[in-house]
Amino acid sequence: MIALIGGSGLTELDGLELSESLVVPTPYGDSSAPLLKGRYAGRDVLFLARHGHPHRIPPHQVNYRANLWALREAGACAVIAVNAVGGIHPAMGSGHLCVPHQLIDYTWGRASTFFDGELEHVTHIDFSHPYDESLRERLCQALHQCGQTFSARGVYACTQGPRLETAAEIIRLERDGCDIVGMTGMPEAALARELELPYACLALVVNPAAGKSTQLISMADIESELGRGMGRVRSVLAALLAAL
């Protein structure tokens, strides 16, 4: 069963034929919201609102470990994450969709591993390629099918938040090779890898990153872009699920 994690702008999955709302106990506390189990595009799915419903949990306080653990326990075999991001690369304008192939983690202080505490042995995971290539290819096929303009590659910079970045920080991220910037890509991707859950990201650019526009970043503009873009995201998710 595919799990869909919705970020900012996707706290509900319109069109989901809900069969069950699940509160799954985990060793790490409560997930951000109950897991919604149902049918979407003719497929059984799990849906989780990353920031809760209503949108209330900031990126640095999301219980990523509980979220991923609960999804696996509920039967998820793979995860598609939807992330709202800022655009750094000139191709990543507002409204653009990106399926990133790499990420750089700039967060700190987050509970970022299941291999913690009193362990019998140390465990390292191979994280050379943080996103599952097969899932990425399926996402790209769904984007093509829906006639969307998108980037099939990109480097996601994950920052701590909840504040937005300074213009100087964006210059640094660009120098590091980053194309988009968000606050929720990590440790989510690494935790999925630790649980052996194939994981891919569909990123919607909702604003130019700091210093990439002459205008100040407005939350009203971000919310407007989210409103315009999430309908396209849902159509892509439906096409992906229908093709599985």
Q: Residues in the chain with pLDDT < 70?
A: 8-14
- Residue pLDDT, tens place only, 113-157: 999 877 777 889 999 999 999 999 999 999 999 999 999 999 999
Which domain CATH number covers 75? 3.40.50.1580
Residue 212 belongs to domain spanning: 2-114+127-243
Please give the pLDDT value at position 36.
Answer: 93
Residue 169: φ, ψ to 5°: -65, -40
Q: Does residue 42 sit within a domain?
A: yes
Chain centre distance of CA 219? 19
50 is in an annotated binding site: yes
Q: Is the backbone peptide bond immediately before 54 cis, with ω within 30 degrees of 0?
A: yes
Q: Is 184 annotated as a binding residue?
A: yes
Q: Is 62 exposed, middle or buried (0-12, 13-18, 19+ CB in 10 A)?
A: buried
Does a structural domain hold residue 122? no
| pLDDT value for 12 | 59
Query: Is residue 63 a known part of a binding site?
Result: no
In a domain, 120, yes or no: no
Q: Is 209 annotated as a binding residue?
A: yes
Residue (of 90, 28, 78) closest to 197 by Cα position = 78
Under 8 Å between Cβ of 93 and 179: no
Q: What is the largest CA-CA distance in the chain?
A: 54
Residue 183: its pLDDT value, please? 97
Distance between CA atoms of 97 and 232, rounded to whole angstroms? 9
Task: Map tokens 């790209």 to a residue.
Answer: 140
Contact 35, 71 (CB under 8 A): yes
- What's this model's pTM, rounded to 2 decimal places? 0.93
Residue 58 is assigned to a structural domain of this protein? yes
- Model pLDDT, residue 22: 92
Is 183 annotated in some ligand binding site?
A: yes
Domain membership of residue 93 (yes or no) is: yes
Give the three-class secondary structure for 102.
Answer: strand
Give the whole-angstrom CA distance, residue 11 versus residue 171: 31
Q: Which residues contact 27 (CB under 8 A, 6 or more apart)?
A: 69
Amino acid at 5: I
> Which residue, 224, 228, 222, is CA-closest to 210?
222
Q: How many domains does the chain have?
A: 1
Is residue 121 a part of any domain in this protein? Answer: no
pLDDT of residue 8: 67
